[in-house]
Amino acid sequence: MQVGSSGPGSAADEPMSEDCLYLNIWSPEKAAGAHLPVMLWIYGGGFQNGAGSYPYQLGDQLARKGVVVVTFNYRLGTLGFLALAELSAESGHHASGNYGLMDMIAALQWVKSNIAAFGGDPDNVTIFGVSAGSWAVSMLMASPLAHGLFQRAIGESGASFKPPNGNRDLPQAKGRLGEAEQYGKALEARLGARSLAELRALPAAKVIAAGPAFSIIDGYVLPDQTYTVFDEGKQNDVPLLVGHTSGEGDMTANVGSAQAYVHALREQAGPLAERLLALFPARSQAEAAASQRRFETEYSFAWEAWIWGRLQSRTGRSRVFEYDFDHRPPYPDEEPYKSWGVPHMAELFYLFQHYAPDWTWTPTDYRVADLMSRYWVNFARSGDPNGPGLPRWQPFDEAHQRVMHMGDSFAMSDLPHRQALEAIDELVGLLRMRDATARAAGHDRRAPHQ
């Protein structure tokens, strides 16, 4: 069940049902008893839409490289993330709201118990995901319930390291349980329900259309903010491969007027605003539109990948590999494609090697797909993406902030846009201080019910 559908190869016209929690498994031929690496894919879609059956995210091509690939569905929107005091009271662990994440953990538990029958090694599991799926990977690394269920992690274009007031478009995301329960009560009222029993009696389509819901710090699935868990070295310490595309904001940015952009940035950034406006200027509407797309790329995606890698390399013992995907798919010469560079989720065509049939794919596209998918499979096999015939990928750490630049050719490079990332890092630090001050005062100006 979901509202809308988006992303490469979306399934907008497929039938929907609450009976949806299934897995799909691809194994190489003659895989029985082979103990092959397992790759479990977590789709994106903002926790509002998506499916394990999206045609451009199927696992057959990756499986041909010697891994077992699993995709699956998890509950979305209100059905996946609604918190209510009544739900918390009946749970047995005094928490509610992270049902979508619990579905992911249940899938991992199923893989642990059953994947050997499909030729997979239950002790060599890689979780990998894009967008909200990458958010989920970061949260699974922070969840004690997922401990021991996976041995590697890959995050593509998304993570969950900002404080709640740092998610400009997701004000109810990552709030505390009490705040989320208030939000849930308001949603219940909008639906005209007066109790949990009445809410459960409503059609699922009506409930899920009532409003979005996102992961929360419930003290059970998520013990604390992801940043805090990693900063204290309490994460599930596994090798990490993480990165983003060079033009994430080309598709995702909400571009407004230059005046509104400057006003919003000054309101959010306070004393850091002029520094950020020097890096992301708005002296004309065209310049402001470009800056808004670049700011979205750096703020919502590049910073998250950067801080994820930095924290893991600092407090964990497992290695980190970072990438910057900068190869543009052969989009049609029409809107909205013609104005895109390398937008959000552009790498999926290459990773899964499923291509839009009406586009003009070139030998360079196929070479990029082969290199990228081999890196991912090598990483799933050993925790190291390197292998014969591949450009050497050096680990990332605080002292050596180098990334694999994946363009028409692949090569190591210095971290792109470091000045912008450092300025955004200061902004996030400011937001974290505001969040701590608000909570110490007993309120949050971005509380879910507001």
Contact (Cβ atoms closer than 8 angstroms) between residue 134 and residue 279: no
The pTM score is: 0.94
For residue range 368-379, what is the model confidence (pLDDT) as tens digits?
Answer: 999 999 999 999
CATH of domain 23-440: 3.40.50.1820
Amino acid 6: pLDDT: 52
Compute the CA torsion angle 13, 17, 22, 26 (nearest 10 deg).
Answer: -10
In total, the chain counts a number of residues equal to 450
Amino acid 438: pLDDT: 78
Cα separation of 411 and 220, whole Å? 42
Amino acid 436: pLDDT: 83
Contact (Cβ atoms closer than 8 angstroms) between residue 48 and residue 135: no
* 413 catalytic per annotation: no
Burial 405-440 (b: 16+ CB within 10 A, else e): bbbeebeeeebbbeebbebbeebbebbbebbeebee
Q: Which of 88, 96, 131, 215 is catalytic?
A: 131
Contact (Cβ atoms closer than 8 angstroms) between residue 208 and residue 78: yes
Q: Low-confidence residues of the chain, pLDDT below 50?
A: 168-174, 444-450
Amino acid 160: pLDDT: 94
Extract the tokens encoding 238: 């596994």
Residue 178 buriedness (CB in 10 A; 0-12 / 13-18 / 19+):
middle
Cα separation of 369 and 362, whole Å? 11
Amino acid 203: pLDDT: 95
Amino acid 164: pLDDT: 75
List, edge to edge, every strand of the sheet that includes 152-156: 23-26, 68-72, 36-42, 120-130, 152-156, 240-245, 320-325, 402-406, 410-414
